[in-house]
Chains A and B, each alone.
Chain A
Amino acid sequence: MTETMLSAGELAAVRADFPLLARTLRDGKPLVYLDSGATSQKPDVVLDAEQDFYAQRNAAVHRGAHQLAEEATEAFEHAREQVASFVGADVGEVVWTTNATAGLNLVAYAMSNATAGRGGEAARRFALAPGDEIVVTEAEHHANLVPWQELAARTGAVVRWVGVDDDGRLRTDELAHVVTDRTRVLAFTHASNVTGAVTDVAPFVARARAVGALTVLDACQSVPHLPVDLHALGVDFAVFSGHKMLGPTGVGALYGRRELLEAMPPVATGGSMVEVVTMQSTTYAPPPQRFEAGTQMVAQAIGMGAAAAYLAELGMDAVAAHEAALAAELLDAVASVPHVRVLGPTDTRDRLATVSFVVDGVHAHDVGQVLDDAGVAVRVGHHCAQPLHRRFGVAATARASASVYTTSQEIAVFREALTGVRAFFGWDR
Chain B
Amino acid sequence: MTSSMEQLYQQVILDHARDPHGRGLVDGPADAVAGESHQVNPTCGDEVTLRVALGTRGTVPVVEGVSWEGQGCSISQASVSVLTDLVTGQDLRQVDEVAETFRALMHTRGAGLDEEREDALGDATAFTGVAKYPARIKCALLGWAALKDAIAKTGVAVPATASAAATTTEEPA
Residues in chain A within 8 A of chain B (CB atoms) = 26-27, 362-366, 369-370, 373, 380-382, 386, 389, 395-396, 420, 424-426
A386 to B40, CA, bound (A): 13
B44 lies within 8 A of A396 (CB): yes
* Segment of B30-38, B56-64, B71-79 engaged in the interface with chain A: B71-79
A364 to B75, CA, bound (A): 12
Q: Closest CB-CB distance, B13 to chain A, in whole Å?
A: 10
Chain B 1-27 interface residues, beta-carbon cutoff 8 Å to A: 1-2, 4-5, 8-9, 14, 17-18
A395 to B4, CA, bound (A): 27
A27 lies within 8 A of B2 (CB): yes
Q: Closest CB-CB distance, A297 to chain B, in whole Å?
A: 26
A365 lies within 8 A of B1 (CB): no
A381 to B43, CA, bound (A): 7
- Contact mask for chain B residues 97-112; partner A; CB cutoff 8 A; 1 contact, 0 none: 0000000000000000
Task: Decide if the interface of chain A is mainly helix, strand, loop or mixed.
Answer: mixed
A389 lies within 8 A of B5 (CB): no
Residues in chain B within 8 A of chain A (CB atoms) = 1-2, 4-5, 8-9, 14, 17-18, 43-47, 71-75, 77, 133, 136, 139
Say whether, besides A365-B136, A424-B1, A381 and B73 are in contact (CB < 8 Å). no
User: Which of these, A369, A380, A381, A420, contacts B8 with CB under 8 Å?
Assistant: A369
Given contacts A27-B2, A366-B9, A366-B75, 5 further A-B contacts (CB under 8 A): A26-B4, A365-B46, A365-B136, A389-B45, A426-B14
A365 lies within 8 A of B139 (CB): yes
Query: Which 7 pairs, one residue from A and one from B, show the smallest C-beta to C-beta distance?
Result: A365-B73, A363-B73, A395-B45, A381-B44, A382-B45, A373-B5, A366-B73
A284 to B45, CA, bound (A): 43
Q: Closest CB-CB distance, A373 to chain B, in whole Å?
A: 5
A395 to B43, CA, bound (A): 11
A386, A396, A420 — most chain B CB neighbours (10 Å) = A396
What are the residues of chain B within 8 A of A382 when measuring CB–CB?
A: 44-45
What are the residues of chain B within 8 A of A369 when measuring CB–CB?
A: 5, 8-9, 133, 136
A26 to B4, CA, bound (A): 9
What are the residues of chain A within 8 A of B4 when measuring CB–CB?
A: 26-27, 373
A365 to B77, CA, bound (A): 12
A146 to B98, CA, bound (A): 40
A27 to B75, CA, bound (A): 23
A366 to B71, CA, bound (A): 13
A27, A365, A381, A386 — most chain B CB neighbours (10 Å) = A365
A395 lies within 8 A of B75 (CB): no
A424 lies within 8 A of B44 (CB): no
A424 to B133, CA, bound (A): 18
What are the residues of chain A within 8 A of B8 when measuring CB–CB?
A: 369
User: Which of these, B9, B47, B71, contacts A424 with CB under 8 Å?
Assistant: B9
